[in-house]
Amino acid sequence: MIVTLTANPSHDRTVTLTEPLRHGAVQRAASVLSQAGGKGVNISRASVAAGVPTLAVLPAPSHDDPFVLELLAAGIDCRPVDHPGDLRVNITISDPDGTTTKLNSPGPAMTDATRAALADALARRTGEGDWVVLAGSLPPGAPVGWYADLVAGLASTGARVAVDTSDEPLRALVDRLEDGAPHLMKPNGHELASLTGHDGDDLEKEPVAAARAALELVDRGVESVLVTLGGNGAVLVTDGRAWHATPPPTTVVSTVGAGDSSLFGYLLAAIEERPPADRLALAVAYGSAAAGLPGTTIPHPHQVDPTQVLVTDLDLTQGD
């Protein structure tokens, strides 16, 4: 079972342009796609497509809200917690070459009661061996340390916890790793750099540098760190070893949701008890497949081919 928490869900709208975005101009859209989204929701969508049991926990105005009904229609077992205010709308503008511009709104303020209900929903619906994914930004009103609180609280359930967030919530989590570390973290190169003091561009380009930076988090108690590097693939560090995976040639249509798909690929391989290198290969294969699809479309397993991903061992003593 994969249980996802989407703390700040959104109506995702993707506008695909017929020519590159020009500031201040009037342009025509080739298409407009709208989908109930959020990082945890995307992972639950991928779970349904792969036949993996999933449960999506999220705040929503009511159980008959169109957002919730869309998820239920997609086969996602959705457990909404009543939350006042309309869900946010995120807009992605996609150029013909796959370049994306994102406009993300903050979302409605989260009350203390909603936050407590979400934490309770996670604790009651999570069991031994489940994966719990805490994903995405936090809405206004949520303390930046809430993910760190949830990681510590979930320790008694026996579940394995993965966290994919950024900015202050990510920093707050890392500041409290000694109090409770997740089993998996999935930063990108720039997010990892912000935590470790490295240069983000260097980590995106240099897999060994990214792996060394990730090792700093592993040394502080995180079991595995999956670092996505955009077109340069991804790095996995766990149990003192590191691997780099190079993606297959991909015609990029939209990078939105590619990181979420990568995380699901890793989780799927972990559930299937594949070795670390195979988990990395499936993560990169899923991310590459997602980048070749429009909007936030999540790939189905038949669209994913990990045999096209090249995985190499990394020597972390290189250059010492």
Assign 82 a pLDDT band (cuts: 50, 70, 90).
Answer: confident
> H/E element holding 237?
strand 234-238
Distance between CA atoms of 320 and 313, rounded to whole angstroms? 17
Q: Which pLDDT score is estimated for 83?
A: 84
Q: Which residues contact 66 (CB under 8 A, 6 or more apart)?
A: none
Dihedral pair phi/psi, residue 194, rounded to 5°: -65, -20
The number of angstroms, rounded, from the C-alpha of 135 to the middle of its chain's C-alpha atoms is: 6
Q: Which pLDDT score is estimated for 317?
A: 77
User: What rounded mean pLDDT belongs to the chain?
Assistant: 92
DSSP, collapsed to helix, strand or coil, labels residue 33 as strand
Q: What is the pLDDT of residues 105-137, one digit of tens each?
A: 998 899 999 999 999 999 998 988 899 999 999
Question: Where in the chain are the domains?
Answer: 2-314
Q: What is the pLDDT of residues 6-59, one digit of tens each?
A: 999 999 898 999 999 999 999 999 999 888 989 999 999 999 999 999 999 999
Q: Considering only 93-97, 163-167, 233-237, 291-295, which range has the smallest mean pLDDT?
A: 291-295
Q: Which pLDDT score is estimated for 112?
A: 94
Task: Identify whether 175 is a catalytic site residue.
Answer: no
Q: Which residues contact 303 (CB under 8 A, 6 or more apart)?
A: 289, 293
Tokens of 112: 């203390």
Q: What integer is the mean pLDDT of 149-176?
A: 95
% of residues, the chain, pLDDT over 70:
99
Assign 221 a pLDDT band (cuts: 50, 70, 90).
Answer: very high
Q: What integer is the mean pLDDT of 254-270?
A: 92
Choosing from 260, 305, 313, 315, which is the catalytic residue? Answer: 260
Strand order across the 88-94 sheet: 29-37, 10-17, 88-94, 100-104
Does 209 have pLDDT greater than 70? yes
Kindly report the pTM of this predicted structure.
0.92
Q: Which pLDDT score is estimated for 318?
A: 62
DSSP code at position 295: T
Q: Which pLDDT score is estimated for 212?
A: 95
Does 319 have pLDDT greater than 60? no
% of residues, the chain, pLDDT over 90:
73
Q: Of 3.40.1190.20, 3.40.50.620, 1.20.1090.10, 3.30.450.40, which CATH number belongs to 2-314?
A: 3.40.1190.20
Q: Which residues contact 206 (CB under 8 A, 6 or more apart)?
A: none
Say how many C-beta atoms besides its own lie within 10 A of residue 18's C-beta: 11
> H/E element holding 78?
strand 78-82
Assign 252 a pLDDT band (cuts: 50, 70, 90).
Answer: confident
Q: What integer is the mean pLDDT of 52-68?
A: 89
